[in-house]
C-alpha cells in the first residue's frame, strides 16, 4: 500500500470515528437528554461527557488535516493556496471550539463562549467552500464524485444561510435568531453535510487512486 493511500485511509478512519463518537453523545446518558432539535452540538461540552465531545472534534480535525495533506501530496492543490488556507481555517476553528467551551447561559455570557461562537461560524463557512473548489480539481472527469462532494458543500452552506436569515430578520426587528429555526437541527445539518463533503472527497480519491482521474491541477 502506498503511503498516500495509507494517509487517505487514516483520514477516512479519523473522520468516521469522530462522527461515530458525536452520534454516541445523542444516546449516552446524561447527554441523551439534550434536545438535538433545539440544542447545539457544543451543549454536550457543558456536561460530564465533555471529553467525548472534545475527542470527536479532534478526530475530525485530524482527519481533515490528513485529507488536505493527501490532496497536496497528489498535486490537486498547492501547499499555499486558497483551498489550503480554507482547510487551515476549518481545522483551527475546530481546535478553538475545543479550547473555548460554548457559553453556559445558566451562568451568563463569557468571552470564551463568544470566541467559540465566532470560531463555529468560521468553520461552518470555510470547509464547504474549500470542498466545492477542491472537488472540481480532484475529480475533473468523475462527475458523480464531484457533484456529490459539491452537493454536500452547498447543502452545508445553505443550512448556514438559514441562520443568517434569522440574524438579518432579528436586526430588522424580528424575534431572536436562535428561535427563527430549530437551531440544534440546523446546526447538525450544517456539520453533518460539511463533514460528509470532505469524506466524499477522501473516499473518492481512494476509489480513483488507481486511475488517471485524479490529476495534478494545482489550485
In a domain? residue 28? yes
Closest listed residue to residue 8, CA positions, set 87, 97, 61, 69: 69
User: Residue 217 above 50 pLDDT?
Assistant: no
83 within domain boundaries:
yes
Number of domains making up the chain: 1
State the average pLDDT over residues 95-114: 93
In a domain, 215, yes or no: no
Answer whether residue 103 is part of any domain.
Answer: yes
Would you place residue 2 in the very low, low, confident or very high pLDDT band (cuts 50, 70, 90)?
A: confident
* Percentage of residues in the chain having pLDDT higher than 90: 86
Asked whether residue 214 is domain-assigned, the answer is no
Contact 191, 4 (CB under 8 A): no
pLDDT band at residue 74 under the 50/70/90 scheme: confident
Domain presence at residue 217 = no
User: Over the stretch 120-163, which tens digit does the pLDDT of each residue have?
Assistant: 999 999 999 999 999 999 998 889 999 999 999 999 999 999 99
The residue among 4, 8, 7, 2 whose CA lies nearest residue 204 is: 8
Rounded Cα distance, 21 and 2, in Å: 29
What pTM was computed for the model?
Answer: 0.93
Quick check: is 143 in a domain? yes
* Block residue for cell numbers 460530564: 48
Is 219 contained in some domain? no
Locate 176 and state its grid cell: 431572536
Q: Is 216 exposed, middle or buried (0-12, 13-18, 19+ CB in 10 A)?
A: exposed
**Banded model confidence at residue 216, pLDDT cuts 50, 70, 90:** very low
Domain that holds residue 34: 3-207
Could you give the C-alpha distances from 55 to 49, 89, 121, 156, in angstroms and in order? 10, 19, 20, 23
What is the Cα–Cα distance from 184 to 4, expressed in whole angstroms?
A: 37
Amino acid at each position: 500500500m502506498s503511503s498516500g493511500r495509507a494517509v487517505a485511509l487514516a483520514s477516512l478512519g479519523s473522520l468516521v470515528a469522530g462522527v461515530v463518537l458525536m452520534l454516541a453523545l445523542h444516546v449516552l446518558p446524561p447527554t441523551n437528554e439534550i434536545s438535538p432539535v433545539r440544542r447545539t452540538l457544543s451543549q454536550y461540552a457543558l456536561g460530564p461527557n465533555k471529553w467525548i465531545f472534545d475527542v470527536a472534534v479532534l478526530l475530525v480535525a485530524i482527519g481533515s488535516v490528513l485529507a488536505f495533506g493527501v490532496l497536496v501530496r497528489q498535486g490537486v492543490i498547492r501547499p499555499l493556496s486558497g483551498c489550503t488556507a480554507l482547510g487551515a481555517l476549518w481545522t483551527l476553528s475546530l481546535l478553538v471550539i475545543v479550547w473555548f467551551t460554548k457559553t453556559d447561559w445558566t451562568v451568563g455570557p463569557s468571552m470564551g463562549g463568544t470566541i467559540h461562537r465566532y470560531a463555529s461560524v468560521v468553520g461552518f463557512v470555510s470547509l464547504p467552500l474549500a470542498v466545492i473548489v477542491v472537488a472540481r480539481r480532484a475529480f475533473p472527469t468523475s462527475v458523480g464524485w464531484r457533484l456529490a462532494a459539491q452537493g454536500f458543500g452547498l447543502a452545508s452552506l445553505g443550512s448556514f444561510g438559514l441562520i443568517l436569515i434569522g440574524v438579518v430578520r432579528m436586526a430588522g426587528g424580528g424575534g431572536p435568531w436562535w428561535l427563527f429555526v430549530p437551531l440544534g437541527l440546523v446546526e447538525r445539518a450544517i456539520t453533518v453535510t460539511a463533514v460528509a463533503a470532505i469524506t466524499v472527497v477522501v473516499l473518492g480519491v481512494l476509489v480513483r487512486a488507481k486511475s488517471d482521474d485524479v490529476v495534478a491541477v494545482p489550485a
